[in-house]
Amino acid sequence: MATGPEWAQTLRYKEKLQRQISRHSLFVVLICFFSFATTFALYITGQSLYRAYENNLWLAESFTATYDGYYDYITDDDMAQMMERYFEGAASEKAVIQQFYSFEGGMLIGGDILFFDAHGSSMFTTLNSADLAHIVVFDHIIHSHMLKNESREVYNAAYYLRGSSSRYAFARNIYDDAGSYLGSVSIYLDGDKWDSLLRTMQVDGVITDLSGSVIASSNRSLVDNFNRFKPDSPLTYRTENHQFWIREASDELRAVRFYSLVYDSTLPQYFALGLLTFGIIAVVVMLLARKLAVNIASLNTASMSALMSGIDEVREAGGDVRIRLESDDEFATIATHINGMLDSINALSERNLALAELNSVMEMKQLEAQFDPHFLYNTLEAIRYAIQIDPEGADAVIIKLTKLLRYSISGGEGLARLCGDIAFLRDYLDIVRFRFAERFSYEIEVAEECAELPVPKLLLQALVENSIKYGFHGKGRLLVVIRCTLENDALRMTVSDDGTGIGPERLEEIKKYMQSERGDGTHYGLHYIARRIALQYGPKGSVRIESEPGKGTCVEIMIDRESLGNGI
């Protein structure tokens, strides 16, 4: 377990993680709270407005049905004929009452009928004596106005004197066929029945004429002392103690307006109950979040402490120790990456030791074919990019590179069958073609009679590298051709390209240092091969180079067939 400053750092990390989780949990709770409050308010508002709309629709439908029924009755030809006969004494009062009550029984709202003769005397009514005195005065005013204007249309008006309800009047003057005034008829809808129906349907609503005079109301507290109702807002209506959601609709044909009101006295209670419930849930969530924060912080702190202890152990014991962490979290992933890094470092260290040992071998081993480090570097870079876009191609190149590297460092006398060596050289060329794509191509021709001959391993490797390294200069494309044949009982191997080529003066310099014991630091592949052939085969072997600027370069190796099996 870590101690000292590292342990203090672990504790600070634990406290910081707890604070972050608690803070984020509080933020989520607040977001949920405001979302809940907003959603609840929108829901209640929308529900209230929808209820007001439904109630308004019912008000309009019920009033329209009642209005149309009484209007059709008072304008009906049979009704007019009955009244003419009654005014003329040809029909009895009983017949009129029977006809009226037969019609009224089918209506949603009941009413009373009132007849006056041409002299203004009351002839018949179903009104009780308490209402009759006041209504008669109002009715005389209506019919006098209609008579003055010679109106034969139905006149509607809201009548209210005092009390808790009003009446809605249908008035019509009656004329005979000659146009003589016979009398008048009026029907007054019972406002108490309207109000009672609204209360029965549990609808808070008001019906007014276009001037605001109340025809019916479910609650007289909504109506002022002058029997008028005019809301201040199109959405809400406030009384002394309550506030209502309101919906308004107008019927211009019948000259009325409908107001439906929705009041839910339980809204504050529901809201308070919802907030209380949410508050309890929020407290529980915060407690659980704090508990979760402590648990997560403890687990992460334990993993972090184990990781730091493992790092300390690696630092003290060396690179052979590995961090063991089984927490199955991000810290275990970090430990895995650290272990992988240690493996890579150890592998690199071992390789460096091996390379150091190789520096002490004799000159022949130093002159064996080696890969240009730039080739490995560029190949690895190409593989790294190809993994993202062409994983199958990258996998194939990795396999070829692995085989080629294994072949180049394998032991033995440094000899190989020509066909086998060419096969690995083909892998090398495939890797080069993978890097350069269509910019690079190659051809290999190996005569069947020389395929099994023993040759120095990777003998042609450096020549091919030189062709690629220098042939591309000033060229967009490069072709490398490898040919192996038997000529005059000698193995002839050529590596040619169509690259940049070499100038005459530089070509002479290259030929000179190919024959020396030390090269000039460039074209070392040619120097190594020339030295190896000279040391291994003596006069039985030779290396020759020819080149022409702009046309390419050709290197030829000749080895006497007799001496091929005598190499070291």
Chain center to CA of 558: 70
Q: What is the pTM of this model?
A: 0.45
The last residue of a domain, from among 267, 282, 310? 267
Which 3-state string (H, E, C) describes 512-543? Answer: HHHCCCCCCCCCHHHHHHHHHHHHHHHHHEEE
Q: Are residue 439 and residue 548 in the same domain, yes or no?
A: yes
Q: What is the pLDDT at residue 496?
A: 94
**Of 444, 455, 430, 428, residue with least CA distance to 480:** 444
C-alpha span between 334 and 332 (Å, rounded) = 5
Q: Work out how many domains the chain is built from and give that number.
A: 2
The last residue of a domain, from among 223, 245, 267? 267
Count of CA atoms in the C-beta half-sphere (13 A) of 475? 22
- 155-171 pLDDT, tens per residue? 888 888 766 668 889 99
Residue 481, domain CATH? 3.30.565.10
Residue 136, domain CATH? 3.30.450.20
State how beta strands 256-262 and 204-209 pair. Answer: antiparallel
Within a domain: residue 315?
Answer: no
Q: What is the pLDDT at residue 545?
A: 92
In the β-sheet with 155-159, what is the strand arrangement from edge to edge?
Answer: 122-125, 111-117, 181-189, 167-175, 155-159
Which two three-digit tokens encode residue 257? 């307006």
Q: Are residue 132 and residue 257 in the same domain, yes or no?
A: yes
- 228-269 pLDDT, tens per residue? 888 877 777 777 777 777 888 888 888 889 888 887 655 566
**CA gyration radius for the chain?**
56
Mean of all residue pLDDT scores within the chain? 78
Within a domain: residue 288?
Answer: no
Q: Is 230 left (phi over 0), alpha (psi -120 to 50) or beta?
A: beta
Which 3-state string (H, E, C) describes 356-392? Answer: HHHCCCCHHHHCCCCCCHHHHHHHHHHHHHHHHHCHH
Q: What is the pLDDT at residue 358?
A: 35
Q: Are residue 54 and residue 191 in the same domain, yes or no?
A: yes
Strand partners, 155: 171
- Residue 527: pLDDT above 70? yes
Residue bearing the bigger pLDDT, 241 or 303: 241
Within a domain: residue 298?
Answer: no
DSSP string, 125-177: E-S-HHHHHHHHHHHHHHHHHHHHTT--S-EEEEE--SSS--EEEEEEEEE-T
Q: What is the pLDDT at residue 9?
A: 60
What's the pLDDT band for 543 if we cut at 50, 70, 90? very high
C-alpha span between 541 and 491 (Å, rounded) = 9
CA distances from 127 to 86, 186, 397 (A): 18, 11, 111
Within a domain: residue 540?
Answer: yes
The last residue of a domain, from among 209, 235, 267? 267
If 0-12 CB within 10 Å is exposed, 13-18 middle and 19+ buried, where does residue 150 land?
exposed
3-state secondary structure of 204: strand
What is the domain range of residue 203?
46-267
Q: What is the pLDDT at residue 303?
A: 63
Strand partners, 176: none
What's the pLDDT band for 136 if we cut at 50, 70, 90? confident
Strand partners, 209: 256
Within a domain: residue 280?
Answer: no
- Residue 546: pLDDT above 90? yes
Q: What is the pLDDT at residue 355?
A: 38
Within a domain: residue 322?
Answer: no
Phi, psi at residue 184, to the nearest 5°? -140, 160
Q: Give CB contacts under 8 A, 24+ apart, made by 122-128.
A: 123/86, 123/87, 123/183, 124/86, 124/93, 124/96, 124/97, 126/97, 126/100, 127/188
C-alpha span between 300 and 192 (Å, rounded) = 77
Q: Are residue 379 and residue 508 in the same domain, yes or no?
A: yes
- Residue 550: pLDDT above 80? yes
C-alpha span between 568 and 565 (Å, rounded) = 9
Q: Are residue 111 and residue 213 in the same domain, yes or no?
A: yes
Give Dmax over CA atoms of the chain in angstroms: 161
Which two three-digit tokens encode residue 567? 């190499």
Within a domain: residue 343?
Answer: no
